[in-house]
Amino acid sequence: MKKSTLILHIEAKTGKTKEERRENGKKSALERSALLKKSLRFDKAAYNRTLGEGAPRSPLLRNCLAAFLVGGGICLFAEALFRLFLSLALPDKMAGQTVSVILIFLTALLTALGIFDSIGRFAGAGTLVPVTGFANAVVSPAIDTKSEGLVLGVGAKIFTVAGPVLLFGVFSGAVYGLLYYLFLLIF
């Protein structure tokens, strides 16, 4: 078999054949792997030092207070809307549905404008508990992936955050319903 001029040039320059270079590459890869394993050994003291340096204590009281006030404010706003719709002679069920639709619409709008993210950073879990957190979880991935197109971007990734919540919510509801039905049959 005739060798190409490039291979002959490389062999002349390095003084090694292709097989010899490949063997040396394998050895060095194995040596690099052994060094990497040594360097990745868990050192509890070093881990604790790193943890203490990099993670400042979070202001727990401030976070709880912010979550309580913002979450309570959202619920207070929803209750005020509910009472308004009741005073306009809407039936209870229709008033509740209308409030939910308005909260979801306002959350989607504020998320699209980038305002809801700021509120969420300040309030933390306070924005997650009402229906507004779920609306934000659906709208955010849709906005983030709109540049990828309607089908492969928005359509494929709209439920990346809310999908597991829907799945396990429906599943746990079905399990609860089955247990309740069995309870009624037995007692």
Tokens of 49: 């030092």
pLDDT tens-digit map of 139-171: 777 777 777 777 777 677 777 767 777 778 888
Residues 103, 135 contacting (CB under 8 angstroms): yes
Residues of the chain with confidence (pLDDT) below 70? 1-43, 50-55, 130, 154, 161
pTM of the model: 0.57
Tokens of 45: 């003291």
3-state helix, strand, coil in the chain (%, to 5): 85, 0, 15
- The Cα-based distances of 47 to 1, 50, 55, 56 in angstroms read 57, 5, 12, 15
* pLDDT recorded at residue 7: 55
* pLDDT recorded at residue 135: 80
* pLDDT recorded at residue 182: 93
Under DSSP, the state recorded for 43 is -
